Amino acid sequence: MMIETFTLLSAWTAGVLLGAVFFGGLWWTVRKGLSSKHPALWFLGSLLLRTGMTATGFVVVASGHWERLLVCLLGFIMARLIVVRLTQSWADDQTHSPEETSHAS
């Protein structure tokens, strides 16, 4: 029972890490790609790299066990929610000038 719990916790942690890399990489790619002379190369390269890493990670973590795959997917989705929240707050900070934020307090 203890080993099973540890295995599922490890699968969840791997899912969170995979999600952080996938969605954090997407955010980084969008920022870099928009200011690049060749944005299509950034987006295509990033898509292939992120998808390949994520798919490989899911296969390795699952090792033929649907429970591990499900828990890994749960961690992946949770990481998405975290990255979206962090990048939204970063974007909000970038769109407000210092004068606006001081008056809002």
Q: Please state, for a pLDDT cut of 90, what percent of the chain lies above it.
A: 76
Whole domain around residue 45: which residue ranges?
Answer: 23-87
Q: Please tell me the predicted confidence (pLDDT) of residue 15.
A: 98
In a domain, 63, yes or no: yes
In a domain, 54, yes or no: yes
Task: Look at residue 64 and give its three-state secondary structure.
Answer: coil
**pLDDT tens digits along 32-43:** 998 999 999 999
In a domain, 48, yes or no: yes
Cα diameter, the chain: 57
Q: Per the structure, how many domains does the chain have?
A: 1
User: What average pLDDT does this structure show over 74-92?
Assistant: 90
In a domain, 75, yes or no: yes
